[in-house]
Amino acid sequence: MTQAGDQPEYQAGYQAGDRATSHDATLSYDRPVSQPPASAGTHGLTVGVLALQGDVREHVVALEALGATAVRVRRVEELDRCDALVLPGGESTTIARLARTFDLLGPLRERIAGGMPVLGTCAGMILLADRVLDGEPGQQTIGGLDVTVRRNAFGRQVDSFETDVTMSGLAEPVHAVFIRAPWVEEVGPGVEVLARAAGHAVAVRQGPLLATSFHPEVGGDLRVHRVFLDGVAALA
Ligand code: GLN
């Protein structure tokens, strides 16, 4: 089993060989992207990144660039310090299994039920979803977001792709990186679809919960994190 801490954080979902050229170029932050200035409202916010597996570091970098204090969350005491949480991309089955092992599943559910804002990206979207199609047998989620997601919906790893998506609330399209990505197949009445790709919902919001099928943490475009943190600041 994959253990937290015994591997690079930036791992599953980005294995060597899967269209390395386009992904590497995107992941190395070498693409100039015009950045919004750090919002004054995000200073003083402590935002956790669930750090059991997946692309934790990229989220930490994005959050800190926007002026928040980022905390890697592996224990309930770390979760307790956070105003909000990011569930990163990676492998949803592994993250869910480790969350149970680390006794975080219950505390995470309680905080979400209590209104903690959460941004879930790719595997993080799956973890946030109340219902999963094409999951592993018995796959658990943290839940809270009233959607049904289809795991690996766009195909297998080799079918990962990048495309520009128009997202509600953002003036310019987002260059979105999809890696074995889920899509949202059904949404409950309180869920707003913010973006679509190939006709499928790929970004959704339900109150303080925001989820994207793609990886806003790669490529250096901070606008999705900015939208999330502005929402957190407005609630704080
Ligand atoms: N397919 C992965 C899962 O099921 C998600 C991939 C990703 O986060 N890039 O968890």
Read off the CATH number of the domain in which 200 is found: 3.40.50.880
> Does any domain span residue 192?
yes
> Does any domain span residue 163?
no
Candidate of 50, 97, 151 to mutate for ligand 1, largest count of ligand atoms within 8 Å of Cβ? 151
Q: Residue 44 is part of which domain span?
A: 2-10+35-155+181-235
Q: How far is the CA of 91 from the centre of ligand 1 (A)?
A: 5
Of 31 and 129, the one with more pLDDT: 129
What is the rounded CA–CA span in Å between residue 199 and residue 176? 15
The tens digit of pLDDT for each residue in 118-169 reads 999 999 999 999 999 999 999 999 999 999 999 999 876 567 899 999 999 9
**Mean pLDDT of all residues in 41-62:** 94
Q: Is 41 annotated as a binding residue?
A: no
Structural domain tally of the chain? Answer: 1
> Does any domain span residue 20?
no
> Does any domain span residue 113?
yes
> Does any domain span residue 206?
yes
Q: How far is the CA of 44 from the centre of ligand 1 (A)?
A: 31
How far is residue 13 from each of residues 27, 28, 123, 152, 214, measured CA to CA in Å? Answer: 12, 16, 9, 11, 12
> Does any domain span residue 162?
no
Ligand 1 binding site (Cβ under 6 Å of any ligand atom): 13, 89-92, 122-123, 126, 151-152, 179-180
Ligand 1: atom nearest CA of 179 is 9
Active site residue 122: yes
CA-based angle 18:21:27, to the nearest 5? 90
Range with the lowest mean pLDDT among 31-45, 64-78, 89-103, 178-192? 31-45
**Mean pLDDT of all residues in 183-196:** 98
Ligand 1: atom nearest CA of 89 is 8
CA-based angle 206:174:88, to the nearest 5? 55
Active site residue 162: no
The tens digit of pLDDT for each residue in 197-230 reads 999 999 999 999 999 999 999 988 999 999 999 9
- The reported pLDDT for the residue numbered 26 is 36
The whole-angstrom distance between residue 11's C-alpha and the CA centroid of its chain comes to 15
- The reported pLDDT for the residue numbered 40 is 59
> Does any domain span residue 18?
no
Q: Which of 9, 122, 162, 225 is catalytic?
A: 122
Of 2 and 126, the one with more pLDDT: 126
How does strand 46-50 pair with strand 183-187?
Answer: unpaired
Q: Is 112 annotated as a binding residue?
A: no
The tens digit of pLDDT for each residue in 52-85 reads 999 999 999 999 999 999 999 999 999 999 999 9
> Does any domain span residue 109?
yes
What is the rounded CA–CA span in Å between residue 179 and residue 165? 15
In the predicted structure, residue 23 carries a pLDDT above the cut 50: no
